[in-house]
Structure 1
Amino acid sequence: MISIHIPENKKVYFASDQHLGAPTQEASFPREQKFVNWLNQIKDDAEAIFLLGDLFDFWFEYKTVVPKGFVRVLGKLAEIRDSGIPIYFFVGNHDLWMHDYFEKELNIPVYHSPQKFILNNKTLLIGHGDGLGPHDKGYKRMKKVFTFPLFKWMFKWLHPDLGVRLGQYMSVKNKLISGDEDAKFLGEENEWLVQYCKRKLETAHYDYFVFGHRHLPLHIQLQEDSKYINLGDWIQYYTYGSFEKDKLTLKKY
């Protein structure tokens, strides 16, 4: 568990689901520029930055090769991290094959499951959100296949030109693999991340649950002193989370 003290004039920022590279790198380039502009804007008062997955629409790390492109966003993250601002990255369902490139090249820790953080006096559970809760069974089965060591070993033997192209095609075309759904609020009883949060509250207290994956900005009161925040995306909404003093709010860029 990591505890972060936020000075009076600083904030902690959260963003998720940029899906850079979708449906093509050319088409996503304006979104990459917009996200880099946002990073430029927040770096002056950021105490820390949390990226909650699906930064890329597809990502696979070969031993000596990573997917081509995304130089601007990777360079900006490197610049911010080198300035001393901590960045925490949570793997999403589109970049679940991330290994240690961010850690070695950018000094950014990578998490593959939800983690507990303390911001000032508030307790947060933070993660991407895929495969959690009582539903999403099709994706859960698919994720077991994709993360199975033998499958990853077999995929890495594909030439990167073929492997990355195949991965990008599957990521864009197949919603079962991507785990994406139409971004419509289903009601608290049908939002599986809400159900997941409520179950977690049965055994421990969290002031905030912060997730992405749903591509829908959500702010739901679970209990009097506990809230679920979904960060939305950088495809349609361009929303992000801002934690200042002891409060987390959703904002639009």
Structure 2
Amino acid sequence: MPPRLEGAWTEQPLFFVSDLHLSGTAPGRTQTFLHFCASLARGTGALFVLGDLFDYWIHWRQLEESPATEVLPALAELTRRGIRVYCMPGNRDFALTASVLERFGIEALADPSILLVAREAVLLTHGDLLCTDDAAYLRFRRVIRNPLLLGFLRALPYPVLQGLARGLRRRSRRAVAQKDLRVTDASAEGLRQAFLGQGPFAAAEAPFTRLIHGHTHRPGQQDLPGLGRRLVLGDWRDDGACLVRHDHLGWHLWHFPTGVDCTDSSAP
């Protein structure tokens, strides 16, 4: 059952981001995200990172390397300012453990999770579970996240793990490039399961009227007849990203740092 988060969210702004893919090879993206963190006002209630904060995470020694040496302390500073920070595993950084996050005051968020906002139960997920047409990826997901396999991998030397991660990323990029775009997007069946609370999304709070996810890199919003509204987060680039904000005016999809409203677009 997905865990449920409750808080005094009605009045305080909430921010939702995903797919930052921060790495040492993209310093501009890291600086943009640090700018975003510094811009959050003290009255902000929470920041939700819905997966893929890092381009990959394989070992605790990454704590000694950029961008972790910059980003995790910046998130810790948010918690010291009274802003709760939640981080959900993504398909790239699923090995980022709760114990590592807790060092910086960051709360690990299960995928999926349920957020109660103004009496509405909102379903949060990274998004890869929605891609039910990509059967090969979902099989790989189940295998690579097996606790026994993860335990074996963590015992390997860090340089070996780095080589494995680079190889997996290359193969992943080739595989995605060869697939039909519809296969790598959320499927109609995956969305139906999510809104109705079926399969991996089974929950007593279902059916849901609002879903927030990333992963597909296709930001927008979409009203699904008979189900609810889907808000899709954008991936981050040097010039920012489309993210979701909730405040006293409701739900918004907008671009940081330009402030341009993204709500006129529709997720495919």
Q: 158, 161, 165: which one pairs with 1:167?
A: 165
CA distance in structure 1 between the aligned counterparts of 2:191 and 2:211, rounded to whole angstroms:
9
- Aligned 1:189-228 pairs, distance under 5 A: 190=187, 193-200=190-197, 204-223=206-225, 226-228=228-230
CA RMSD of aligned residues (A): 3.0
Match of 2:252 in 1: 249
The answer (yes or no) to whether the contact 1:91–1:112 under 8 Å persists in 2 is yes
**Number of equivalences:** 244
The answer (yes or no) to whether the contact 1:3–1:120 under 8 Å persists in 2 is no
Match of 2:74 in 1: 76
Gap regions ≥5 residues in structure 2: 257-268
CA distance in structure 2 between the aligned counterparts of 1:130 and 1:45, rounded to whole angstroms:
32
Between stretches 208-217 and 237-246, larger displacement belongs to: 237-246
Match of 2:127 in 1: 129
Deviations 1:88-144 (A, max 9, x none): 111000011122234431122213321111112322011111133532211111112
Taking a change above 3 Å as real, the CA distance of residues 81 and 190 of structure 1, as seen in their structure-2 partners, is: same
CA distance in structure 2 between the aligned counterparts of 1:97 and 1:4, rounded to whole angstroms:
27
The answer (yes or no) to whether the contact 1:59–1:98 under 8 Å persists in 2 is yes
Match of 2:17 in 1: 15
Q: Which amino acid aligns with 2:207?
A: H
Q: Which amino acid aligns with 1:214?
A: T
- Structure 1 outlier segments of 4+, above 4 Å: 179-186, 188-193
CA distance in structure 2 between the aligned counterparts of 1:233 and 1:192, rounded to whole angstroms:
23
Give the % identical residues: 23
CA distance in structure 2 between the aligned counterparts of 1:88 and 1:180, rounded to whole angstroms:
31
Q: Which amino acid aligns with 2:5?
A: I
Q: Which amino acid aligns with 1:84?
A: G
CA distance in structure 2 between the aligned counterparts of 1:200 and 1:193, rounded to whole angstroms:
10
Q: TM-score, normalised by structure 1?
A: 0.83
> What is the CA-CA distance between 1:198 and the residue it aligns to?
4.3
Match of 1:239 in 2: 242
Taking a change above 3 Å as real, the CA distance of residues 189 and 90 of structure 1, as seen in their structure-2 partners, is: closer
